[in-house]
Amino acid sequence: MPFRNTLIPILFGAFAAATVADAQEYDRGSALDISQGAIGQIVNTQTLRDVEGQSFELADLRGKPLVVSMIYTSCHHVCPTITKNLATAVDIASEALGSDEYSVLTVGFDWAVDTPDRMRLYAAERRIEEPNWHFVAGDATSIEALSKDLGFLFYPSAKGFDHLTQTTVLDAEGKVYRQIYGVDIDPPSLVEPLKELVFDTPRQAGLLEHWVDTFKLFCTVYDPNSGRYMFDYSIAMTIFVGILCLTAIATFVIREWRRAR
């Protein structure tokens, strides 16, 4: 079955939050409504466990944008492919924005199986060692609460789990900012919302910092030929020349107005 990264979520089988019986109550429209309905809501903090088995507080990731991907480690095709494609997009995002500007969280939602050891092995098999990328496990309560806040749907099936193929971007306050659907993650679908969040400086930031980040926001663009992001100097020069022209016009108008008086 082919997969495409579109605005419509790509799903496996039917939809539900917990059981196969519940799955019959959902269709593609309701699944999209649930997922999209999570946008704008705060994801409550949960206590999870890292790959060493230590407590991992979701609240510790506040203050920066966060990318969340929910998988189950016994999946042999779809989840590993999602993680692989996400890793490619994350690598491009780090080049464009800096690896310290955001965090990534992969959560094993099959809480009875996805132990810290399984999550550690899952990360190692994919050779993911980025310091800003965390692999975590949870219990039934934390996984249920987290998936509900994210608008992520999954339920047991004969092949393991049927689930919504969804990657979620949270803002620095833990609010759902964007949903990305599909196994194939096109780099701009991840980098663009991160770019908006990273370069949108807080209100308390200085005026100069705000303008510099706004400048970066517009001039950091995706090059489809190389598949990477780059700083477009032509856009920078256009903006610079435009500012000079506006300044000259404003100076002329003010001078003529004073002369007329």
Looking at residue 159, what is its pLDDT?
77
Type of residue numbered 55: S
For the whole model, what pTM was predicted?
A: 0.72
- Span 195-220, pLDDT tens digits: 889 887 544 444 445 444 444 444 55
Cβ 146 vs Cβ 47: under 8 Å: no
Residue 116, pLDDT score: 98
Write phi, then psi, for 176 (nearest 5 degrees): -65, 120
**85: how many CB neighbours lie within 10 A of its CB?**
19
Q: Write out the two tokens for 237.
A: 């020069």
pLDDT score of 254: 79
CA distance to 40, 236, 237, 257, per residue, from 243 (Å): 35, 11, 10, 21
Q: Kindly list the strands in the beta sheet with 133-136, ordered across the sheet, starting from the edge strand earlier in the chain.
A: 133-136, 103-108, 66-71, 166-170, 176-181
* Whole-angstrom distance, CA of residue 3 vs CA of residue 15: 17
What is residue 231's predicted lDDT score, i.e. its pLDDT? 53
Strands 220-223 and 160-163: unpaired
What whole-number distance in Å separates Cα of residue 243 and Cα of residue 239? 6
Architecture of domain 20-199: 3-Layer(aba) Sandwich (3.40)
Given a contact cutoff of 8 angstroms between Cβ atoms, the answer to whether 131 and 32 are in contact is no
The per-residue pLDDT for 148 is 95
Place of tokens 């759902």: 176
Give residues with Cβ within 8 angstroms of 75, minimum separation 6: 160, 161
pLDDT, position 238: 59
Antiparallel, parallel or unpaired: β 66-71 and 103-108: parallel
Instruction: Report pLDDT for 133.
Output: 97
Q: What is the pLDDT of residue 146?
A: 97
Identify the DSSP state of 15.
-
Domain boundaries, the chain: 20-199, 207-260
Instruction: List strand residue ranges (DSSP E) for the chain, in order.
Output: 47-49, 55-57, 66-71, 103-108, 133-136, 154-157, 160-163, 166-170, 176-181, 220-223, 228-231
* 3-class secondary structure, 26: coil
By the 8 A CB rule, do 82 and 189 touch?
no
pLDDT per residue as tens digits for the range 75-85: 988 999 999 99
Closest by CA position to 164, among listed 176, 148, 140: 148
pLDDT tens sequence for the chain (261 residues): 333 344 334 444 333 333 333 444 435 667 778 899 999 999 999 999 999 999 999 999 999 999 999 999 999 889 999 999 999 999 999 988 888 999 999 999 999 999 999 999 999 999 999 999 999 999 999 999 999 999 998 878 777 888 788 999 999 999 999 999 999 998 989 998 998 898 875 444 444 454 444 444 445 555 566 666 555 445 445 555 566 677 778 776 777 777 776
Q: End-to-end distance of the chain based on CA atoms, in angstroms?
A: 75
